[in-house]
Structure 1
Amino acid sequence: MVVNVASTEPPAAGDALPPSSLYAAAALRAGCPYVNFTPSTGLHHPALRSATESSGLPYAGRDGKTGQTLLRSVPGPMFTQRTCGSAPGPGPTSSAAATAPPSPTPPPRPRRTPARNASWPTPSARRPRARCTSTLEKYGYDEVEFAGYTQGSAGPITLARLRRLARDHGLTPIGSHVGYYSDDPNAYTFAQNLTKVLDDAQALGLKHIGTASGPFRYGSTVDAWKRAAEEFNTYGAAARARGMKFYQHNHSDEFSFATDDPKVRLYDVLLAETDPDLVFLEMDIFWAYAGQFRFSKRPDGGSAPFEPLDYVLRQPHRYPLFHVKDGVSDPSNQFGYRMVDVGDGDIDYQRFISAVTRLRGERMAHHWQTEHDQPAESFTFARRSSAYLHSLREKC
């Protein structure tokens, strides 16, 4: 627990975080409950509102008192929050139990879990964004990741309207997928229109901006991937200059082997040649295990096993985002799995998520986003997947 007992600071002015808010933000990132014994701003700064509400951590206080007043103003609300549950944010985190007065207790606040655009349809979908945002809110989601900024035949929509829709329904836009490159010089990709891509990401208030394109622009040799990695470093530096993180989302082919050196896994080249402070990864867990199925043997037949989770555990800070999608094991399928709704498959998400969130300092550092590439019905998938992740909350 972090308790602020420092001298009272002057009222906050402007957008800059005062010292008390910086310490409060550090407490959130470390997964620590926070108590403010001073009138200082602390967690009450507007810039921290969303992170505070979605953290799932107990927090209370705006001035320290003594005796009975103290019990009412700080520990009382804190224990109430811990008992009846607050609004956890990134990941299926849980609120710790605590002894509290047995009655009366207010009804639990809705627990939320992150979303991805599986139930926020892609540009080809026909559902208007307004319906999507309200439905996601109803199912307990609090984050969305974009894969395009349009709404198909529902009509045009501006970035400002898109951001406002998300905000009005308690959804934080957390990232977006944009193409890596194109032969069209006017294409909306990182390679062709980096400035425009970053301008739009800033307009939406994104903290992450990335691509689901594999680094195959120059081929599948080691040098080809080194060249692509250098471009990723460039995009990462440009994103960082604007306060964002650039990331790459994998499919299964990233775990294949270099054509000029079949003992080298291409994903390892990407990790080694990109700057860990500039280029981050969004692991699509389904596709990572599909890669395990496809590429646990080298082209010469030699054994080359790997565990996707190990990549994360070795460098957890490089994986701020995850796509949670599920699959039923099916060796007759070319990918080793048939994609199903989250919770209906054989991928052990309790094991995977627990291993990541229990790392010291990592509980609040990751965002778990449900996804299905071709759901039978998007809203049904969103509802069922949210329910499953909520069921894991007390186990991870």
Structure 2
Amino acid sequence: MAFDSRISRRRLMAGAGAAAAAAFSPLGPAAVFSPSMASAASGRLIPDGKLGTITFTQRDVPTRVGIAASAAMGVPPTMGYLGGPEFPQNPDDLGPLVPLPGGWLELFEFLAGCGFKQIEFAGYGQNAANPGGAAPNPAPGGVTTAESRAAYLAYARTLRGFLDAYGLQAIGNHGFIPNTWYGPNSPGGTMSSQDYDRLQTELEFAAILGMPYMGTGGDPTSANNRNIEPWTVAGEKWEALNRISLQWGIHMYTHNHSPAYNFLQDGPLVTVTEDRVSGAPIPPTVVRAESGKRLMQHYLDVTDPELVVIEMDIYWAHVAQHQWRWRYDYDGKRVEDIFDPTAQVAKQTMRYALFHAKDGDATGQPDGVGDGYTMIPFGDPRSDIDFTSFFGNIGAKGYHNPNYEQDNAPGGSADPGRSLRFAKISAGNMATLRG
């Protein structure tokens, strides 16, 4: 792969990491991903520069010894299938057994060759034998020291060099979130010094990588508690965290799973006599009534839109549509109230800065029973999630950052190349989504 020899500001920031990447390309020539000016007018629902993935999907790759490191150590590389000449059009064309990428540098080269442009990290760790070495601990024993901070930030500059070498942008991360914050509901009404030091270090790390967002894979607060009070407090916490992070030009975001779109228990105590899911008669039971507002909607309502953005997992939003279909109204009656993920985003589209573009195959389970879907590669023929309608009707076309995710992508020792094959399939299908 050829690299631009001119020194740019981005490459200068990256430091030695870019040089290491430029000197090493174990996978052979990669397909260069060049954003096309025409794509914005081509009907593409996910523009060139917004094609992303979260590395949780390929979490088996950074942790294994890569091709170059295996050669340097004199050990056989991990072998697997990356697809033959008819792949991905024919997903059954696995091709020959080949050495598999390992570590960040080789993963980034592969993902860029697939057409991905944005990387959402799910942590920064990798096998210590790979280029760049292991990620240093920023806070040994919970304490950030000058030495641990310096080592951690040096590693950030190495990762930035690897990203720059393949024209990739770090869009976000699922990582450290403080347990304390500045506000009356935080322990002592303030942020602990340990949390402050660690947060500042993580924000500087993210700034070196060029991230506009930094977040978590969790909900704003535990979705097991559907009372209004903890979700109001969560809004206070995340506003306080964003006031700190925006000093670095970074928005801090939360993720969500299906329970976060369950109904807020915000009404009076009522007596119900019908099962919520089946409608079958039950003994009189006292529960808290529900107005129909969802947990995440309350969180959005109580937070400043200039401060707080979130990431929707589109798959789990559709699971929520399958699961949370009935509520008890203020009279104790069972009312059908079906969640609409597209409408949820469309009415406040700028709040949803990021998505997990995770696809699903319907299981055929009855409404309200189980998850209703199983995870598959994006755009798989089995897909029962209408991404064309979703991306075509949420508004602000080209603003959002969709990151392909598939929790079950790694194939383990039986098929160690699977997460990479699925990435290639998904990137192609995301790029061809039209509407």
Match of 2:53 in 1: 115
* CA distance, structure 1, for counterparts of residue 375 and residue 57 of structure 2: 16
Deviation sequence 1:105-132 (CA, Å, 0-9, x none)? xxxxxx9832322455279842311110
Q: CA deviation at 1:163?
A: 1.1
Match of 2:235 among 222, 229, 238: 229
Q: CA deviation at 1:191?
A: 8.3
Match of 1:209 in 2: 214
Match of 1:36 in 2: none
Contact 2:56 2:121 (8 Å CA) reproduced: no
Deviation sequence 1:198-234 (CA, Å, 0-9, x none)? 2221122111111221122594310111001100111
Contact 2:112 2:168 (8 Å CA) reproduced: yes
- Tell me, what secondary structure is at the counterpart of 1:275? coil
Contact 1:123 1:148 (8 Å CA) reproduced: no
Is 2:372 the partner of 1:336?
yes
Match of 2:103 in 1: 128
Rate the CA distance shift 1:112–1:254 in 2: closer, same or farther, 3 A.
closer
Q: CA deviation at 1:182?
A: 5.5
* CA distance, structure 1, for counterparts of residue 41 and residue 125 of structure 2: 30
* CA distance, structure 2, for counterparts of residue 190 and residue 337 of structure 1: 38
For residue 298 of structure 2, what is the amino acid of its counterpart? V
Is 2:151 the partner of 1:174?
no
Q: CA deviation at 1:277?
A: 0.7
Q: CA deviation at 1:172?
A: 0.5
Match of 1:276 among 300, 305, 315: 305
Match of 1:350 in 2: 388
Match of 2:402 among 364, 368, 390: 368
For residue 342 of structure 2, what is the amino acid of its counterpart? L
* CA distance, structure 2, for counterparts of residue 204 and residue 180 of structure 1: 18
* CA distance, structure 2, for counterparts of residue 370 and residue 308 of structure 1: 17
Is 2:161 the partner of 1:164?
yes
Match of 2:359 in 1: 326
Rate the CA distance shift 1:139–1:55 in 2: closer, same or farther, 3 A.
closer
* CA distance, structure 1, for counterparts of residue 212 and residue 253 of structure 2: 11
Contact 2:310 2:353 (8 Å CA) reproduced: yes
For residue 364 of structure 1, what is the amino acid of its counterpart? G
Q: CA deviation at 1:315?
A: 1.1
Rate the CA distance shift 1:173–1:326 in 2: closer, same or farther, 3 A.
same
* CA distance, structure 1, for counterparts of residue 298 and residue 59 of structure 2: 33
Q: CA deviation at 1:194?
A: 2.6
Rate the CA distance shift 1:217–1:391 in 2: closer, same or farther, 3 A.
closer
- Tell me, what secondary structure is at the counterpart of 2:254? strand
- Tell me, what secondary structure is at the counterpart of 2:335? coil
* CA distance, structure 2, for counterparts of residue 118 and residue 240 of structure 1: 26
Match of 2:15 in 1: none
Rate the CA distance shift 1:168–1:91 in 2: closer, same or farther, 3 A.
farther
Match of 1:381 in 2: 422
- Tell me, what secondary structure is at the counterpart of 1:383? helix
Match of 1:27 in 2: none
Deviation sequence 1:335-382 (CA, Å, 0-9, x none)? 1101111112210111111223xx3xx223111211101203210111
Give aligned pairs, total.
Answer: 294
Question: Among the aligned pairs, what percent are the same residue?
Answer: 29
Contact 1:122 1:148 (8 Å CA) reproduced: no
What does 1:216-255 correspond to in 2, within 5 Å? Answer: 216=221, 219-255=225-261
For residue 177 of structure 1, what is the amino acid of its counterpart? H
Q: CA deviation at 1:266?
A: 1.1
For residue 239 of structure 1, what is the amino acid of its counterpart? S
Q: CA RMSD for the aligned pairs?
A: 3.2
* CA distance, structure 1, for counterparts of residue 218 and residue 51 of structure 2: 26
Is 2:264 the partner of 1:258?
yes
Q: Which runs of 5+ in 2 are unaligned?
A: 1-8, 10-32, 65-101, 136-154, 181-186, 268-288, 412-417
- Tell me, what secondary structure is at the counterpart of 1:320? strand
- Tell me, what secondary structure is at the counterpart of 1:302? strand
Higher RCO (CA 8 Å, separation ≥ 6 residues): 2
- Tell me, what secondary structure is at the counterpart of 2:336? coil
Q: CA deviation at 1:179?
A: 4.3
* CA distance, structure 2, for counterparts of residue 386 and residue 323 of structure 1: 13
Contact 2:213 2:251 (8 Å CA) reproduced: yes
Is 2:290 the partner of 1:290?
no
* CA distance, structure 2, for counterparts of residue 125 and residue 164 of structure 1: 19
Q: CA deviation at 1:197?
A: 2.5
* CA distance, structure 2, for counterparts of residue 254 and residue 147 of structure 1: 20
Q: CA deviation at 1:298?
A: 1.8
Rate the CA distance shift 1:55–1:298 in 2: closer, same or farther, 3 A.
farther
Q: Which runs of 5+ in 1 are unaligned?
A: 1-14, 16-52, 58-81, 95-110
- Tell me, what secondary structure is at the counterpart of 2:388? helix
